[in-house]
Structure 1
Amino acid sequence: NNSLIVHINEDFYQVRACCTFKGSHFEETEYILTSFFNKNLMMEYNSTRGNWTGFTAYSIEAAKWWNRDPVDAQRRKIERKLLYNLTTIPTVKLKSLKRPNGEHTSTLVCSAYNFYPKQIRMRWMRNGKEVTTDVNYSDVMPNGDWCYQTHSHLKYIPTSAEKIACMVEHLGLSEPMFVVWDPSLPVEQQTQIAVGLCGLVIGFVIAISGIIYCITVYFLFFYGIILAPQLLEYYCFFRIFFFTV
């Protein structure tokens, strides 16, 4: 049980939270929030019912408003999720930071997001062995929605033979999670390069086609196969087609 007590002048306000767990795996979990004003019971939230209940004329109206409030509903939803599941598995991402010009070392960042409870352990592995040098860890920071995040940095000199991984241990994981660093380009960069190459090829084809077209028209005019008015028409067609594609 936890209580929050606030004194305002001569008034007394208290909020009490109580959780009940049943079953070997806490499959039945219920929590109740109760608020008191000057020792009088005002409101109660019961996770089993999923709504607020008022016990005075004022708190009955307040309970109706809170039951319609989407922000409060989202908070209660997160509370139910955390209490019923007790753990939220971390989402782990691994990325490389750009190297400053002239530096041979690279920096890898391993980030764990949206996990609960707070306790977590991160380690760097190189070819199956733990790395203890050139490593730093950030504090575990709250997201503001009862979940947490943390980050770790590793400085290293890239080589083709080694295998680097970030290992994460958390209560929500039945076994350690390994995220292996893949030095190949991300899918987004591969797509950008492919689009750029396609544009370059299309531009080259259009340029060659324009040159061939101009040479053909010139020789036709030179040998008298087409006349000057026709040449002007071909020129206009060339300008319209090749400079608007």
Structure 2
Amino acid sequence: MSYKKSLKRAGFLAATVGVLGLMSTGIASAHVTANVYGAQPTKGGYGAIFFRVPNEDPAVGTTKVEIEIKPEYAIGTVRTTKVPGWTAQVTKTKLPAPVKNAAGADVSEVVTKVSWTAEPGNKIAAGTSEFAEFEISIGALPKLDEIEFPATQTYEGNKVVNWNEKAPAGGEEPEHPAPTVKLADKKAEGDHHGGATATDTSEHTEAAAGSDTTARWLAGAGLAVGALGLGVGAGATIRARKAGKGTN
């Protein structure tokens, strides 16, 4: 296969993968999801979680979003950020007796719900082209591999959609899955930030090799162009000298 054909095939494959990626992103974004931007929250630690809420009804907009936090998570602290046009409320529940959270502290009240209510004129618009994100800072997180945040989305006219279905292991995603977040082990997170993995090293080596090959190719091309320039200049000088002798 020629070099040009290889480039065309590679470009076609890249474009296809990009389109498929956009399609899969669009499909996933149709659900209420819990997202983490940056380092994954750790078990027993604190983290920032963003709840992305898309509007899915063509006729009415979203006016309220509620996130449930299971009491068994024993989470004592949740803070919200200001979302223009929305009012946030954190609900705490008194426990019959204090319990120790994942950080080893005694808590007698735990957060069980966070809700955001749209002020007049600030709903997520009807249709399927808008979404909003609601951020919380939460901790101490339980020592689990994954935590769930069942959500309730309320539309105008009191239409309610519950996002609370658990995805079966290895099975198809349910119609209304509960937003989930995976938690990392503290040791694993430290290893990730403190040293390169075998994959990182391999990718770095391949990138360095590619850069070195490119640099060598460019250097060789530069030398060839320079040699060509010197040859042209020398030829011009010789012709000029011959022309001068002929004139004399």
TM-based fold match above 0.5? no
- Rg: which structure is higher? 1
Which structure is higher in RCO with an 8 Å CA cutoff and minimum separation 6?
2
- Higher helix fraction (1 or 2): 2
Provide TM-score, normalisation by structure 2: 0.32
More strand by share: 1
Provide the TM-score with structure 1 as the length reference.
0.32
